[in-house]
C-alpha cells in the first residue's frame, strides 16, 4: 500500500534571502506542479507545513518561506546541500489556459505574491500569450518587499503594468503608499468582458480588493482567489481546512469568486 | 433557681445572657440529616423555646429561650435525634433519654462532599461520621471538619484538624490530544503543577496538591482518578482572643485510617500535656501543641500509625498567625 | 446461522477467538471517572462476555479503536522515516448499530475523501469484524431513528444479551468457531424503531448564508466553553493534527504522530503566524452543526450525525445537539422525506 504521508527526500540547491524573514528555497526535485499548487514541507522531529510553490522549472521548485513557526524557523537554519522532505503537489492550482490571450489583473498582498509568481513569470517569458497584465503588489513596508529583482524585470515588460505599494513608507521610499484597494480604480480596463482577475493575500485584503473589482462592474465569474488555511494532511483527511462542504486542500486553494464568497469559515 | 452550670454545659445546654433561660445545641455529624428530625427541632422550639432556631457555624442547631427546668423533658424528646444521628452511627451514648453526654469535642462538620459537589474527592459526611464515632463523646475541646477539596468550603483551615480530600491524577499519554486545558487551568487556578513537553503533559508531583482539577477539565479522559482515596490533614488552626491562625499542613497523601488514628491519638497527648491549672480544665489543643512542641505532638499522633507509601509528613511547622499587639499598627486619629 | 447459547459457551468461543483477534467491547472502569466515585464506560479489550457493559451507553465511541487518539505515523531514526510495525492480530468490536453507521462515516473520510486513502486507518479497518449489540430500547439522549442510523446490515455477527445469548452469525469465517456451541434457532436482531428524542432534519437546499448569520448561534457563544468534549466523544468526528517530537533520551530519534483534533477547541484553525478563524464559540457550534447535518450530506449524500447522543450526554454546559438541530430546522424548514 502506498503511504500518502511518506515524504521524499530532496536537496536544497539555493537559498535567496528576500527579506529578513522570507527566504526562497530552490529544491532539486521531480515534482511537476501547476501554478498555485502547494507541497507539504517536512522536517523529521520538527513537523510539516503546507507551503505554496512560488516558481518551478526543469528539475526544481522554488518555495518562498516566511519564518513564522517551528518548521519554518528550522528551515531558515538550513544551507544549500541540506535535505528537505516534500510530499505533493497538492491542491487544484490556477489554470493558465483561463488567462491566455486576455487582459489579466493580479492583485497580490505580501506573501500572497508567491503562489502567483510563476504565472507572472510565465507571461513574462511568453508575452505573446497575454494581451495585458496589470500587477498590483502590496507590502506592509519597503523592507517587506519580496522578489525585488524580478519585479524590476517585470516592470521592463511592455505588456505589464506593475504597481508596487506599501502600507507604510520610510524615509527612503519614494514609491506608492496605500492599500491595494486604492489602486484598483486606477487600472485601465479597455474591455470588461475580456478581463480575468486573480487576488491573493490575507483574508481581509482579498475581501476588500474583490469588492473594489465588483465596484468596477467586473463579474464575479472573472475573479479568482487563493486561500490559506491550517492543514495537517493536504489530502482531505485531517479536516482543518474544511469550509462547509469544501476542502481547501482538495478543491482549492484556488477558488472562483462565485464559490469563494459562499465559503464561510 | 439552683442550676449546676458545669453539668448542663456537658449536656449541650448553655448559660445565656437571659437569666433562667438556656439554649440547646443539637449535633449534626457530617452536616447532613434526614428532614424528619426537623419536626422534633420545630416542636421543641415552638413548645419550649421562642419559636426560632439558630443554625450554628458547626452545622448544628441551637434552640434558644428554653427554661432550665424543661431540660429533662427536652432530653427525652431528642432521643430519636441521638438515636439516628449518634447511636446508629456507632457513637456510644449511655442514656438515650438523658441528652448529649458531652459537648467539649464539637460537632464534626463537613462540606456537601462528593454526594453533590463535582470538585469533592470523597464523601465528607461519611468520614465525619466515622470520626464522630471514634472520638465522641469527649469533654476535650477539639474542632474537626472535613472538606472535599482544597477549595475548603467548610473552612477546614479554621479547625484543630481539617481534613482535605486529595485525588491522585493518573495520566494516560496515549489519550491526550494536547489541548492544554489542564495545563492552562492548573496555572490559572491551582499551583501550576502541569506543563507541556513534546505535546504531552508533565506533572510536578511536589507542586500537585491533588485537587483533581486536571481530571475535571480533561475532555478525553487522559486524566483519570486513582480510585484509592487520599487526604491532606491541616492542624491547629483557630480563631480566638489570643493568637488566631490558619491551620498548617501536617500530612499529605495519607489514608482514612491514618486520619482517624491521628485524631484519636491526640486525645492521649491532650491528657498528658494539658495545663492542669487551666480555667475550668479547658485548654484548646493548639495552645497545648504550642507549649509542648510540635515534635511531642507528632510522636503521640503517630503511635500505632502505619503510613502508606505515598504519605508525606511535615518535619517542621511554622504556625504563624498573629497576636494582638494592637498599638503597633494603630494610631489615634485625633492625636 | 443463528444460535441460542449459554454464557459459558460464548466465553469459550471468545477464548478461541482471542488467539486470532483482539476483542473490544464497552467495559466499565470503576471509580476512575471525572467525578469522585464515578465510573467510566468506554472501549477496552475483553475476554469474557460478563465484562461487556450492556445497560449503559459507552461514554466514548468505538472510533478510538480504528482511529487511535494518539497514533504514530513514522518513527525517525536520524533522518530516516520508518513506518510502525503492524500488529498482526485481527479485531472484533462489540458495538451498537449507530456506531456501525458511525464507522461508515469514518470510512467516507479516511478512505473516500480525496484521491488518497489513509493507509493507517485502512490497515486497522480491514482487520475489523463487527459484533452488533442488538439495541431496541436506546437511551435517554439517543436520536438514531431520526438520523436513519438505527439499522444496519453491516455486521459479522449480531448478539442479544440475556441469561442466555442469541447470536446470529453471518461471517463465514466465524461459523466454525460457534458451530455446535449452542442450539440452532431462529434469530435475527431487532432494531429500535422510536427514540424518546426526535429531531426534524433541515432541508439542506434551504440552508443559506442567512442561517450562518442567524441570531440562534449567539446563544451558543455565551454557553459553549470550547472544551471539545462533544467532538471527542462523537463517533463520527474524524479531525486530527500532526505532531512531531524527539525523544528526551535521544534527541536524534523521534516520531511523527497524529492526535485527535476538535473544531470546538482553541487553535483548530490557527495557522503558523497566528491567524485563525472562528474565534467566537457560537461560530464553532455553527461550524460543527453544519458539518453534521448539512455539508457532509451535500458532499457525500447522507448526514454525518448518527444520533448517538453522546455529545448531549457529555456537555458540561448542558448544550443539546439534538435541540440545536431542531432549532435549525425550525428556521429553514424540514427536509422532504424521499
Is residue B277 one of the residues assigned to a domain?
yes
Is residue B301 one of the residues assigned to a domain?
yes
Between chain A and chain C, the number of residue pairs with CB atoms below 8 A apart is: 130
Indicate if the pLDDT at residue B30 is higher than 70. Answer: yes
Torsion angle of the four alpha carbons B132, B136, B140, B145, in this order, in degrees rounded to the nearest 10: 10
Is residue B322 one of the residues assigned to a domain?
no
Q: How far is CA C133 from CA B42, C44, C118, C124, in A?
A: 55, 15, 28, 21
Please name the residue ranges forming H helices in chain B.
5-10, 36-47, 71-77, 79-85, 124-135, 181-189, 213-217, 256-273, 285-292, 294-301, 326-329
> pLDDT tens across B276-291, in order?
998 877 899 999 999 9
Helix (H, G, I), strand (E, B) or coil at A71: helix
State how far residue C310 is from chain A, nearest Cα, in angstroms: 21
B120 touches chain C (CB under 8 A): yes
Rounded-to-5 percentages of helix, strand, coil across chain B: 35, 20, 45
pLDDT at residue C273 in the model = 83
Helix (H, G, I), strand (E, B) or coil at B195: strand
Does B189 lie in the same domain as B121?
no
Mean of per-residue pLDDT scores for chain A: 95
Cell numbers linked to C250: 535521544
Cell numbers linked to B90: 456507632
Does B133 lie in the same domain as B38?
no
Mean pLDDT, 10 residues at a time, over chain C (338 residues)?
A: 96 96 98 97 98 98 98 90 90 98 98 96 97 97 98 98 96 93 95 97 93 96 97 98 92 94 96 91 97 96 97 98 97 82
C26 touches chain B (CB under 8 A): no
Of C62, C77, C76, the closest CA to residue C129 belongs to C62
**Partner-chain residue, chosen from C35, C248, C266, that has the shortest CB–CB distance to B114:** C35
Does B54 lie in the same domain as B13?
yes
The enclosing H or E element of A115 equals helix A113-125
Q: Which residues contact C7 (CB under 8 A, 6 or more apart)?
A: C49, C50, C163, C164, C165
Does B68 lie in the same domain as B153?
no
Query: How confident is residue B328, by pLDDT bands cut at 50, 70 and 90?
Result: low
Domain limits for position B188: 170-225
Does B215 lie in the same domain as B135?
no
Does B191 lie in the same domain as B292?
no
- A29 belongs to an annotated ligand binding site: no
pLDDT at residue B333 in the model = 82
Give C112's DSSP letter: I
- A241 belongs to an annotated ligand binding site: yes
Does B295 lie in the same domain as B180?
no
State how far residue B126 is from chain C, nearest Cα, in angstroms: 13
**Partner-chain residue, chosen from A4, A83, A240, that has the shortest CB–CB distance to C116:** A4
Is residue B157 one of the residues assigned to a domain?
yes
B164 touches chain C (CB under 8 A): no
Does B65 lie in the same domain as B10?
yes
- Last residue of some domain: B89, B122, B144? B89
Helix (H, G, I), strand (E, B) or coil at A64: strand
pLDDT at residue C338 in the model = 58
The reported pTM is: 0.94
If one counts the domains in chain B, the total is 3
C33 touches chain B (CB under 8 A): yes
Cβ pair A47:C244 closer than 8 A: yes
> pLDDT tens across A158-202, in order?
999 999 999 999 999 999 999 999 999 999 999 989 999 999 999
Q: What burial letters (b/e) apply to B34-44, b meaning 16+ CB within 10 Å?
A: eeebeebbeeb
Cβ pair C259:B227 closer than 8 A: no
Is residue B324 one of the residues assigned to a domain?
no
Indicate if the pLDDT at residue A103 is higher than 70. Answer: yes
C-beta of residue C64 within 8 angstroms of C-beta of residue C83: no
> pLDDT tens across A134-156, in order?
999 999 999 999 999 999 999 99
C-beta of residue B285 within 8 angstroms of C-beta of residue B248: no
C43 touches chain B (CB under 8 A): no
pLDDT at residue B332 in the model = 79
Phi-psi sector, C78: left (phi>0), alpha (psi -120 to 50), beta: left
- Give the residue from C271, C277, C295 with the most A CB atoms within 10 Å of its CB, the best one to mutate: C271
Average pLDDT over residues A16-36: 95
Does B28 lie in the same domain as B64?
yes
Does B264 lie in the same domain as B155?
yes
**Cβ-based neighbour number of residue C74 at 10 Å:** 21
Judging contacts by C-beta atoms under 8 Å, the chain A residues touching residue C274 are: 68
Of C195, C226, C212, C198, the closest CA to residue C328 belongs to C212
State how far residue A250 is from chain C, nearest Cα, in angstroms: 7
Which CATH number goes with the domain that contains B144? 3.30.413.10
Does B158 lie in the same domain as B306?
yes
Which CATH number goes with the domain that contains B183? 3.30.70.20
Show the domains of chain A with their CATH numbers: 8-89 (2.40.30.10), 96-260 (3.40.50.80)
> pLDDT tens across A66-96, in order?
999 999 999 999 999 999 999 999 999 999 9
pLDDT at residue B59 in the model = 97
Give C330's DSSP letter: H
Does B144 lie in the same domain as B236?
yes
Judging contacts by C-beta atoms under 8 Å, the chain B residues touching residue C32 are: 170, 224-227
Helix (H, G, I), strand (E, B) or coil at C307: coil
pLDDT at residue B119 in the model = 98
Is the preceding omega at residue B137 within 30 degrees of 0, hence cis? yes
> pLDDT tens across B41-69, in order?
999 999 999 999 999 999 999 999 999 99
- Give the residue from C77, C83, C86, C116 with the most A CB atoms within 10 Å of its CB, the best one to mutate: C116
Q: Which residue of B has its CA nearest to C42?
A: B221
C-beta of residue B131 within 8 angstroms of C-beta of residue B260: yes
C291 touches chain A (CB under 8 A): yes
State how far residue C213 is from chain B, nearest Cα, in angstroms: 28
Query: Cell 488518497 maps to which residue?
Result: C116
C243 touches chain B (CB under 8 A): yes
Q: Report the complex ipTM.
A: 0.95
Amino acid at each position: 500500500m502506498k503511504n500518502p504521508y511518506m515524504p521524499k527526500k530532496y536537496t536544497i540547491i539555493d537559498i535567496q534571502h528576500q527579506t529578513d524573514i522570507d527566504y526562497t528555497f530552490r529544491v532539486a526535485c521531480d515534482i511537476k506542479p501547476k501554478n498555485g499548487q502547494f507541497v507539504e514541507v517536512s522536517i523529521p522531529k520538527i513537523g510539516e507545513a503546507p507551503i505554496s510553490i512560488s516558481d518551478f522549472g526543469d528539475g526544481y521548485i522554488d518555495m518562498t518561506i516566511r519564518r513564522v513557526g517551528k518548521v519554518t524557523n528550522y528551515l531558515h537554519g538550513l544551507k544549500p546541500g541540506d535535505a528537505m522532505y516534500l510530499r505533493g503537489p497538492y491542491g487544484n492550482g490556477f489554470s493558465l489556459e483561463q488567462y491566455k490571450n486576455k487582459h489579466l489583473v493580479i492583485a497580490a498582498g505580501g506573501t500572497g505574491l508567491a503562489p502567483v509568481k510563476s504565472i507572472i513569470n510565465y507571461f513574462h517569458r511568453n508575452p505573446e500569450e497575454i494581451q495585458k497584465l496589470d500587477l498590483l503588489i502590496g507590502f506592509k513596508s519597503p523592507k517587506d518587499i519580496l522578489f525585488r529583482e524580478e519585479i524590476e524585470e517585470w516592470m521592463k515588460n511592455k505588456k505589464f503594468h506593475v504597481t508596487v505599494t506599501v502600507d507604510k513608507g520610510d524615509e527612503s521610499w519614494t514609491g506608492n503608499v496605500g492599500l491595494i484597494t486604492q489602486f484598483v480604480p486606477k487600472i485601465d480596463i479597455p474591455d470588461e468582458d475580456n478581463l480575468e482577475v486573480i487576488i491573493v493575500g490575507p483574508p481581509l485584503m482579498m475581501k476588500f480588493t474583490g469588492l473594489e473589482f465588483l465596484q468596477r462592474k467586473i463579474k464575479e465569474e472573472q475573479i479568482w482567489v487563493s486561500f490559506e488555511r491550517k492543514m495537517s494532511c493536504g489530502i482531505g483527511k485531517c479536516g482543518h481546512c474544511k469550509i462547509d462542504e469544501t476542502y481547501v486542500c482538495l478543491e482549492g486553494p484556488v477558488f472562483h469568486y462565485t464559490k469563494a464568497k459562499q465559503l464561510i469559515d | 433557681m439552683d442550676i449546676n452550670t458545669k453539668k448542663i454545659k456537658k449536656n449541650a445546654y448553655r448559660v445565656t445572657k437571659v437569666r433562667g433561660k438556656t439554649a440547646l445545641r443539637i449535633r449534626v455529624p457530617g452536616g447532613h440529616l434526614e428532614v424528619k428530625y426537623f419536626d422534633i427541632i420545630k416542636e421543641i422550639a415552638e413548645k419550649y423555646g421562642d419559636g426560632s432556631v439558630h443554625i450554628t457555624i458547626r452545622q448544628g442547631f441551637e434552640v434558644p429561650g428554653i427554661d432550665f427546668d424543661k431540660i429533662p423533658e427536652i432530653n427525652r424528646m431528642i432521643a430519636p435525634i441521638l438515636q439516628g444521628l449518634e447511636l446508629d452511627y456507632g457513637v456510644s451514648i449511655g442514656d438515650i433519654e438523658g441528652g448529649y453526654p458531652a459537648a467539649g469535642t464539637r460537632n464534626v462538620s463537613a462540606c456537601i462532599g462528593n454526594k453533590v459537589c463535582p470538585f469533592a474527592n470523597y464523601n465528607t459526611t461519611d468520614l465525619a461520621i466515622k470520626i464522630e464515632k471514634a472520638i465522641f463523646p469527649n469533654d476535650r475541646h477539639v474542632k474537626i471538619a472535613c472538606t472535599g477539596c482544597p477549595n475548603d468550603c467548610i473552612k477546614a483551615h479554621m479547625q484543630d484538624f481539617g481534613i482535605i480530600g486529595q485525588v491522585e491524577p493518573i495520566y494516560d499519554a496515549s489519550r491526550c490530544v494536547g489541548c492544554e486545558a489542564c495545563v492552562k487551568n492548573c496555572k490559572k487556578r491551582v499551583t501550576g503543577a502541569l506543563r507541556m513537553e513534546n505535546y504531552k503533559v508533565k506533572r510536578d508531583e511536589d507542586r500537585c496538591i491533588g485537587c483533581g482539577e486536571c481530571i475535571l477539565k480533561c475532555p478525553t479522559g487522559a486524566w483519570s482518578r486513582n480510585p484509592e482515596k487520599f487526604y491532606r490533614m491541616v492542624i491547629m488552626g483557630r480563631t480566638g482572643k489570643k493568637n488566631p491562625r490558619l491551620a498548617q499542613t501536617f500530612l499529605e497523601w495519607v489514608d482514612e485510617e491514618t486520619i482517624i488514628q491521628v485524631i484519636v491519638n491526640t486525645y492521649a497527648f491532650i491528657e498528658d500535656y494539658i495545663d492542669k491549672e487551666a480555667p475550668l480544665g479547658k485548654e484548646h489543643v493548639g495552645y497545648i501543641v504550642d507549649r509542648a512542641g510540635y515534635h511531642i505532638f507528632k510522636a503521640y499522633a503517630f503511635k500505632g500509625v502505619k503510613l502508606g507509601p505515598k504519605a508525606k509528613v511535615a518535619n517542621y511547622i511554622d504556625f504563624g498567625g498573629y497576636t494582638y499587639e494592637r498599638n503597633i499598627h494603630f494610631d489615634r486619629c485625633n492625636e | 446461522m443463528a444460535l441460542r447459547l449459554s454464557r459459558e459457551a460464548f466465553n469459550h468461543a471468545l477464548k478461541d477467538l482471542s488467539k486470532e483477534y483482539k476483542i473490544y467491547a464497552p467495559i466499565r472502569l470503576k471509580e476512575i471517572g471525572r467525578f469522585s466515585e464515578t465510573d467510566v464506560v468506554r472501549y477496552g479489550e475483553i475476554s469474557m462476555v460478563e465484562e461487556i457493559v450492556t445497560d449503559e451507553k459507552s461514554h466514548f465511541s468505538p472510533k478510538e479503536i480504528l482511529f487511535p487518539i494518539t497514533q504514530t505515523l513514522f518513527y525517525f531514526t536520524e533522518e530516516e522515516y520508518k513506518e510502525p510495525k503492524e500488529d498482526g492480530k485481527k479485531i472484533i468490536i462489540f458495538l451498537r448499530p449507530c456506531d456501525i453507521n458511525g464507522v461508515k462515516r469514518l470510512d467516507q473520510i479516511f478512505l473516500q475523501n480525496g484521491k488518497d486513502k489513509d493507509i493507517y486507518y485502512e490497515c486497522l479497518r480491514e482487520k475489523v469484524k463487527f459484533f452488533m449489540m442488538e439495541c431496541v430500547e436506546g437511551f435517554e439522549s439517543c436520536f438514531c431513528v431520526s438520523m436513519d442510523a438505527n439499522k444496519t446490515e453491516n455486521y459479522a455477527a449480531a448478539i442479544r444479551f440475556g441469561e442466555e445469548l442469541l447470536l446470529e452469525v453471518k461471517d463465514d469465517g466465524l461459523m466454525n468457531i460457534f458451530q455446535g456451541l449452542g442450539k440452532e434457532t431462529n434469530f435475527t436482531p431487532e432494531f429500535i424503531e422510536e427514540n424518546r428524542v426526535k429531531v426534524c432534519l433541515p432541508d439542506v437546499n434551504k440552508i443559506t448564508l442567512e442561517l450562518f448569520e442567524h441570531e440562534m448561534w449567539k446563544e451558543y457563544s455565551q454557553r459553549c466553553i470550547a472544551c471539545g468534549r462533544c467532538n471527542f466523544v462523537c463517533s463520527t468526528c474524524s479531525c486530527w493534527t500532526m505532531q512531531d517530537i524527539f525523544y528526551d533520551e535521544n534527541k536524534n530519534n523521534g516520531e511523527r504522530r497524529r492526535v485527535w483534533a476538535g473544531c470546538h477547541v482553541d487553535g483548530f484553525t490557527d495557522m503558523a503566524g497566528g491567524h485563525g478563524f472562528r474565534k467566537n464559540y457560537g461560530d464553532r457550534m455553527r461550524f460543527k452543526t453544519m458539518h453534521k447535518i448539512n455539508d457532509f450530506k451535500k458532499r457525500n449524500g447522507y448526514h454525518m450525525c448518527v444520533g448517538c447522543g453522546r455529545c448531549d450526554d457529555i456537555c458540561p454546559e448542558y448544550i443539546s445537539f439534538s435541540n440545536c438541530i431542531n432549532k435549525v430546522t425550525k428556521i429553514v424548514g424540514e427536509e422532504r422525506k424521499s
